Amino acid sequence: MTESTTEPHEPVACGIPSRRLTIGLYSASVFLFWMAQYIYLPTLPTYIQSKANDLAVVGVVLSMFGLWQAIIRLPLGIAADWLGWRKPFILIGLGLAGLGAWIMGTTDSVNGLTLGRAVTGLSAGAWVPLVVGFSALFPPKEAVKASALLTLFNSAGRVLATSVTGTLNNLGGYPLAFYVATGIAALSIVIMSAVSEIRRPPTRPSANGIGRLIVRRDVLVPSLLSAVGQYAHWAISLGFMSVLVKQLGGTGVTQSLFATLSIALMASGNLWASSMASQIRGQRLVLASFAVNYRAASGAAFRSPHRCARFGRAGRANGVSNKRNCFGPFSSAFWYSM
């Protein structure tokens, strides 16, 4: 699967105008893909809560996104290498992003929300061929530039999307954001369809090779650390934080603001860490990241609601209610961020 990431000569050889056009189309697709995934996200937890007034159910529905994304990513990458195509998997992923949003916007049941969130989780697997395809447009010496561009368009799409959720809710209620997400996904399909792709020689997967890759220390340790960090981020900033803001009297616009600031701060931290990678040892950066994560999550778990509403932001949106139904999720994020 890793062999496909070392083929920058394919698209680079297409000529400068063609390459620039392809980069532009990919960039627009990345931007719209993440807009479609995030435009309903700030108020999704409270939308689910409106269908089932049980935070345990809210957590189960929200978890479908991460669960199915984790399940599909490795098989999808293997399949893309085996067949020699990336674009079909990207288009399917973009379509699933719209389908999942439409399901969640039209359903009246928790089961429908669970299904829709699972479908959007499957769609997020398209990020694998998107990253590989975009990176292959650059020669190896420009790998940092490719990564920076991806981060830029990824973050811009998420920030813009979350900033308008509350306004959309005010205009048309919860469902409007889901319908807009469906339209954005459709537009991203149109743009991505214009990208030409030359089929690569199929790469037959090796079970032994995949197994060795998974257990390699330089792959396994960062993956596990990333999983812990993502758990804390999604449980607090993009999960039960929305419920807390609503309980403290916040509006949809306020929920959007918290999510947008959290994503913007996280993106800024990513860019800063990348710029410092050549000056500070990676291990120290990782330790510093988890120390900030620990401090932020502990503040969310143990501060009073009024103090947190004013001061509880340390690299991400933080706050906590002393009510029992909010304490559990924040405490879990606290312990798992250690």
pLDDT value, residue 171: 95
Nearest-5° angle of CA 109, CA 184, CA 60?
A: 30
297 has a pLDDT exceeding 60: yes
Average model confidence (pLDDT) for the chain?
A: 79
User: How does pLDDT run across 52-101, given as a tens digit for each residue?
Assistant: 888 889 999 999 998 999 899 888 888 887 887 889 999 999 999 999 99
d(CA 121, CA 105): 16
128/267: higher pLDDT: 128
> Regarding predicted confidence, which is higher, 335 or 135?
135
Beta-bridge mates of residue 313? 317
Q: Please spell the DSSP secondary structure of 129-141, one letter per residue.
A: HHHHHHHTTS-GG
What pLDDT was estimated at residue 172? Answer: 93
Alpha-carbon distance of 83 to 200, in angstroms, equals: 8
Average pLDDT of the segment spanning 211-222: 75
Domains and CATH numbers, the chain: 1-207 (1.20.1250.20), 216-338 (no CATH)
For residue 159, pLDDT over 90 is answered with yes
Residue 45's pLDDT is: 93
**Does residue 208 carry a pLDDT above 90?**
no
pLDDT, tens digit, for every residue of 316-331? Answer: 333 333 333 333 333 3
Is the Cβ–Cβ distance between 95 and 44 less than 8 Å?
A: no
pLDDT at 60: 92
Please determine, for residue 3, whether its predicted confidence score (pLDDT) is greater than 60: no
User: Torsion-angle region of residue 96: left (phi > 0), alpha (psi -120 to 50) or beta?
Assistant: alpha
pLDDT higher at 40 or 138: 40
Among 265, 239, 264, 260, smallest CA distance to 319 is for: 239
What tens digit of pLDDT does each residue of 110-158 get?
999 999 999 999 999 999 899 888 888 888 888 778 888 888 899 899 9
The answer to whether 44 touches 62, Cβ cutoff 8 Å, is yes
Rg for the chain, CA atoms, rounded:
20
